[in-house]
Structure 1
Amino acid sequence: MTSAIQVKPISGALGAEIDGVDLASDLSNEAFDQVHQAFLDHHVIFFRGQHGLTPEKHKAFGRHFGTLNVHPYVKGMEGHPEILEIIKEPEEKTNFGGGWHTDMSFLEEPALGSILHAIEVPPFGGDTLWANQHLAYEALSDGLKETLEGLTAIHSAKGEYGPKGQSALNRQSMEATAAPDAPEFEHPVVRTHPETGRKGLYVNPAFTLRFKGWSRRESRPLLNYLFEHSRQEPFTCRFRWEAGSVAFWDNRSTWHFALNDYHGHRRHMRRVTVNGDRPF
């Protein structure tokens, strides 16, 4: 019943848990509208106890919001290429997503959002952090805002999926392809959200290489300042996973960071990514 849906914020910056929704069932129009509005209002939304979310149901929920992405460099789940099996085995030292980033900003049309379902979680650790890039932008001085409005940034996967990257490369639990010659795409440094009209920063440490027309050396001081600024504690929330938990975040307005603090234990997640449009 849609009247039972409750939206409970988890921090002052972003994030809300939603009760009263079974993602494995068909959502009514009213329920979808409530979930969609919570997504826009809170930028990342969480659902507990979604044990019935099969791969097909996972994809079906994602398709409410758009077409689904097939990752260009990481092999998807057998029979479900749209689903990434994000696994860290007990003996592995690095994890997938272990640094602040925005999913798929290295594409010409980056992702709208990502939907992550926890299958198996460690007994401790493995939380995920998110950072609100609208708040990060709004906290800047008027002078820096004016400077950034005229800048374009170059994004590419060639760093993260190159020889020194921290992606799924060289990890036994995920099959990935190296991308040292990955294409570069231009995106505005200040992005306008296509649904809310709100402005936010759109650079990230994983995939932003430099500013258009600037060298990497010239770009580094300002990019480093923005990277440090954008992950300040007042802009963040933190989520403790349980088996069956689902997070759905807006890649147009957030960064996220998967903490790697559970060595010796297994963590298994499944991710569906919803395709987006070209930033403006």
Structure 2
Amino acid sequence: MALRLMQGGIRTLERTAADEPYKRFAVRPVTSLIGAEISDVDLTAPLDEELREELRRALLEWKVIFFRDQSLSPEQHIQLACVWGEPEANPFFPTGDEARISRLAKGTDMYGKENLWHSDHSFLAEPARGSVLRAIEVPDHAGDTMWADMAAAYDNLPEEVKERIDGLEAEHDWIDTWGRAIPEEQRDAVREKLPTVVHPVVKVHPLSGRRTLYVNEPFTMRLVGVPEDESHTLLEYLRAQARVPEYQVRFRWEPGSVAVWDNWAVQHYAINDYYPRRRVMERIAIAGTGWNGTV
């Protein structure tokens, strides 16, 4: 199969549009496909069920939603994450005072390494449902984050590629990324808790029903049951689909900014163009119960 990485022209950019207007906040799209800024809402206040339901609808529609000027406490950060499910700790990230909140402090003593297109926790049997990231300290410029709509990535694959990957599975693992930072004598113990997992190459989102391309650069290792050379070539082609600008949205952080994304629908990329200036973020991952069934 001849694989052409990029092709110009019109791309299909389908969005799961909301059935009714939002009553509790204003929505400003950042692109026509993915990403919207939500305003006129105070996330530090208690979130009643009507507001929670509208936030869930907005995330399903836009896949990543942004908020400005939200001075969240750790408890309020957790309150927001619980709109979508239970917070879960990342097994490799450092944490702050609250174990469910990962603290990502980068600067002169540590540079960002998340500048790969990836899906959070795909190395788990039930990958994270979503993530809530808030800016604590950011440079006056640079340090943006990008997200890519992986349903659009699937929609625009050539038909012969869709036919080839239909029913295929891929291995996902942490060993070539997080494993490099773990002393060799500790890896076996971590491996017992976190074995290699297998996920379909194309997942059907349980809420939107959209077929979504589910491979990523750091954690997807190989295609199951496919000869090694073909697996390498096809997997590289599929990983590269996140790089298409029409599928992407880019967000400029400010102190107090918050982003919530649907980890089953998007990949993201933290742009590492601010080193050695300081950038401090706090993130909560939302447990992925329902990934392999109904939610």
Q: What is the TM-score of this pair, normalised by structure 1?
A: 0.89
Aligned to 1:174: none
Residue matched to 1:139: 156
Deviation at 1:108, TM superposition (A): 0.3
Tell me what 1:82 maps to.
100
Asked if residue 212 in structure 1 is aligned to residue 231 in structure 2, the reply is no
Partner of 2:70: 50
Please say if residues 154 and 186 of structure 1, whose CA atoms lie closer than 8 Å, have aligned partners that are also in contact: yes
1:227 paired to 2:245: no
Judge conservation of contact 1:73–1:178 (CA < 8 Å) in 2: no
- 2:203 & 2:151 partners in 1: Cα distance? 9
Structure 2 match to 1:271? 283
Provide the rounded CA distance (Å) in 2 between the counterparts of 1:224 and 1:242.
34
Instruction: Give matches, 1:1-16, under 5 Å.
Output: 3=23, 5-16=25-36
2:57 matched residue in structure 1? 37
Shift of 1:20: 1.3
The answer for the alignment partner of 2:256 in structure 1 is 244
Q: Secondary structure at the match of 1:224?
A: helix
Cα distance in 1, alignment partners of residues 95 and 230 from structure 2: 37
- 1:234-256, CA deviations, whole angstroms, 9 ceiling, x for partnerless residues? 11010000000000001101010
Change (3 A) 1:69 1:276: same
Cα offset, 1:138, TM superposition = 0.2
What does residue 120 of structure 1 align with? 137
**Partner amino acid, structure 1, of 2:286:** V
Residue 166 of structure 1 is matched in structure 2 by none
Cα deviations by residue, 1:56-95 (Å, 9 ceiling, x for unpaired): 11111111211111112223223x1100001102343x30
Q: What residue is the counterpart of 1:150 in the other structure?
A: 167
3-state SS of paired residue (2:129) = strand
Contact preservation (8 Å) 1:191, 1:279: no
State how far apart, in whole Å, the 1-side matches of 2:211 and 2:252 are.
29
Residues 192-246 of structure 1: per-residue CA shift (max 9 Å, x gap): 0011111110000010000112355441100111112232011101000000000
Taking structure 1 as reference, are residues 216 and 227 closer, same or farther at Cα in structure 2, changes over 3 Å only?
A: same
Q: How does 1:63-74 map to 2 (within 5 A)?
A: 63-74=82-93
CA shift for structure 1 position 263: 1.7
Query: 2:14 — aligned with what?
Result: none
Q: 1:104 aligns with which of 118, 121, 125?
A: 121
Percent pairwise identity? 40
**1:60 equivalenced with 2:79 (yes/no):** yes
CA contact (8 A) 1:127 1:258 kept: yes
- C-alpha contact 2:24 2:51 (8 A) present in aligned 1: no
What is the alpha-carbon root mean square deviation over aligned residues? 1.8
Counterparts of 1:89 and 1:199, CA distance in 2: 38
Q: Which residue of 1 aligns with 2:37?
A: 17
Letter in 2 for 1:18: I
Instruction: Output the CA distance in 2 between the equivalents of 1:71 and 1:140.
Output: 32
The secondary structure found in structure 2 opposite 1:162 is helix
Secondary structure of the equivalent of 1:264?
Answer: coil
Separation in 2, partners of 1:186, 1:57 = 35
Distance change >3 Å, CA 158–CA 123, structure 1 → 2: same
Q: Take 2:53 and 2:157, find their aligned partners in 1: how far apart are those partners?
A: 33
Matches within 5 A, 1:140-219: 140-163=157-180, 169=181, 181=191, 182-214=194-226, 216-219=228-231
CA distance in 2, matches of 1:4, 1:222: 45
Distance 1:120 1:96 in 2: 18
- Specify the SS of the correspondent of 2:56: helix
Q: Give a deviation string over 1:102-146, Cα, whole Å, max 9, x none.
A: 000000000000000000001110000100000000001222112
CA deviation string 1:246-274 (max 9, x = no partner): 00001101010000111221000000010
Contact 1:209 1:216 in 2 (8 A): no
d(CA) in 2 for partners of 1:151, 1:236: 25
Which consecutive residues of structure 1, in runs of 5 or more, have no partner in the other structure? 164-168, 171-176
Counterpart contact for 1:91–1:263, Cα < 8 Å = no
